[in-house]
Structure 1
Amino acid sequence: MFIPLHDTNNLKHIRLQWVTLTLIGLNVLIWLITEMAGLQSEFVTAAVLGLGFIPSVVNDIAELPPSLVLVPENATYITYSFLHGGLLHLGSNMLFLWVFGDNVEDAMGHIRFLVFYFACAAAGAFAHALLLPASESPLIGASGAVAGVVAAYLMLHPKVRVWVLVLGRIPLPLPAFIPLLFWVLFQFFMVVTDVGGEVSWAAHVGGIVAGAVLVLVFRRSGVPLFDKRLESPRAVIHKDDTGSRPKPVATPAPKKWGR
Structure 2
Amino acid sequence: MFIPLSDANALRHLRFQYVTVTLIAINMLVYVFFVSGVFGDALEATAYSFGVVPAVYNDYATLPEEYDLIPAWATLITYQFVHGGFLHLVGNMLFLWVFGDNVEDALGHFRFLVFYLLCGVAAALVHDLVHPTSEVPLVGASGAVSGVIAAYLMLHPRVQVWVLVLWRVPLRLRAVWVLSFWVLLQVGMLFGADEQDNTAWWAHIGGLAAGAVLVLVMRRPGVVLFDRDLPRVSQLRGGRSGQR
TM-score computed with the length of structure 2 as normaliser: 0.91
Shift in CA distance, 160/59, structure 1 to aligned 2, threshold 3 Å: same
Secondary structure of 2:66's counterpart equals: helix
CA contact (8 A) 1:159 1:230 kept: no
Residue 49 of structure 2 is matched in structure 1 by: 50
Higher radius of gyration, 1 or 2: 1
User: More helix by proportion, 1 or 2?
Assistant: 2
Match of 1:253 in 2: none
* Gap runs ≥5 in structure 1: 233-237, 244-259
List alignment gaps of at least 5 residues for structure 2. Answer: 234-238
Residue type at the aligned position of 2:221: S
Give 1:193 shift. Answer: 2.5
| d(CA) in 2 for partners of 1:231, 1:85 | 43
- Is 1:138 the counterpart of 2:140? The answer is no
Deviations 1:89-121 (A, max 9, x none): 100000000000000000000000000000011
Q: Percent identity?
A: 55
Give the SS at the match of 1:11.
Answer: coil
Count of residue pairs the alignment pairs up: 235
Q: 1:116 to 1:195 in 2, by over 3 A?
A: farther
Q: Residues of 1 paired with 2:48 and 2:141: CA distance? A: 16
Alignment correspondent of 1:205: 205
**1:67 Cα deviation after fit:** 2.4
Cα pair distance change 1:37/1:224, threshold 3 Å: same
Q: TM-score, normalised by structure 1?
A: 0.86
Give the counterpart letter for 1:9 in structure 2.
Answer: N
Task: Check whether the contact 2:77–2:117 (CA below 8 A) recurs between aligned residues.
Answer: yes
Using the TM superposition, give the Cα deviation of residue 44 of structure 1 relative to its aligned residue in structure 2, in angstroms.
Answer: 3.2
Deviations 1:59-83 (A, max 9, x none): 1100112321121100111111101
Name the CA shift for 1:50/1:227 in 2 (closer, same or farther; >3 Å): same
The equivalences for 1:188-199 within 5 A come to 188-194=187-193, 196=195, 197-199=197-199
For the residues of structure 2 that align with 1:230 and 1:22, how far apart are their CA atoms? Answer: 33
> What's 1:7 paired with?
7
Pairwise CA RMSD: 1.9
Cα distance in 2 for partners of 1:125, 1:86 equals: 19
Aligned ranges 1:173-192 → 2 under 5 Å: 173-192=172-191
